Amino acid sequence: MSENADSMQTRHFLLRRLHSLTGIVPIGVFLIVHLTTNSTIAWGGLNTRAQSEGFGWMDRAIATFQHEVEFINNMPLLLLIEITLWAALGFHSVLGVYYAISGKSNTGAYKYSSNFRYALQRITGYFGIFFIFYHVATLRWGWTWLVPGGTKWSHEAASSTFAAAIQGSTDGFTPVGFLVACFYFLGVSALVFHFANGLWTAAITWGITISRPAQKRWGVICAGLGAGLMLMAWMSVIGFATLDYEQASRVEQILHGEQIHLNDEPN
């Protein structure tokens, strides 16, 4: 084999495996963290430390979420983390699209579940890229012209501004807002599937699961993880889609005003 072909082959292998790896670390790990954080809007009421005068279940949830957002925002080397994530995401997306267009799905003729998953992995990939772009552009880069109602998300008022963005106004659902909520619902579902299924195939790619029973067992684990993540994802979307802007705004003001320190021991 010539030197050139040799390095081509090494590069090919490296790119392929990096593609697989980046899907899990850091992207997959980030997805888990992100969904865990966001889903606090649904279960943060359990957090008794987020307590203040007159706080109910929902108030505590809003407070918890707000705290998590601020915690992340204050992390050291946040920029480094972000750059890593951007790089990984960009790499995974560009290569993913390139790989996906090289295949030709045939679920019409071969109606096997694994074949549907193959097709779905690619569809969710395309859709996921689109969704992430929208998600980031509207919330992170402040492309408010893409947001119905034009609400600009801010990390100081994470719950309320996001609720407004996903509902289409600060005053409950608008028709376009409903579409955005649905879009979010589909987007997060797609990404969770993409991750869980990708985790399953990665184990074959890397040669971790070989025998059919092993692949099946690992499949159950991936499905379980996927189901858990899916639950969190849906809880997040539904949580924010049904969140009352006024209430969230009020809690956020209280938090900023009263300087509640959630890390302190509860009284």
Partner 1 sequence: MSEAEAYSYDAEMRKANRAKAVAGRSVIFKIKRCDGPGKPARWESFKVPIEEGANVISSLNWIAANPVTIEGKKTTPVVWESNCLEEVCGACTMVINGRVRQSCSCLINEYAPCEGDVMTLEPMSKFPVIRDLWVDRARLFNNLTRVKAWVPIDGTYNMGPGPKESHDHQQMRYALSECMSCGCCLDACPQFIKEEDESKWDSSFIGAHAISQARYFNEHETGKQLKADRMDALSGAGGINDCGNAQNCVKVCPKGIPLTESIGAIGRSATIHAIKQFFQGKK
Q: Which residues bind partner 1 (CB under 8 A)?
A: 1, 5-6, 8-10, 12-13, 16-17, 99, 102-106, 108-115, 117-119, 121, 201, 204-212, 215
d(CA 264, CA 55) in angstroms, rounded, equals: 17
Give the residue with the Cβ less far from partner 1, 190 or 203: 203
> What residues are paired with 170 via a beta bridge?
172
Question: Is the backbone peptide bond immediately before 26 cis, with ω within 30 degrees of 0?
Answer: yes
Are 109 and 101 contacting, i.e. CB atoms less than 8 angstroms apart?
Answer: no
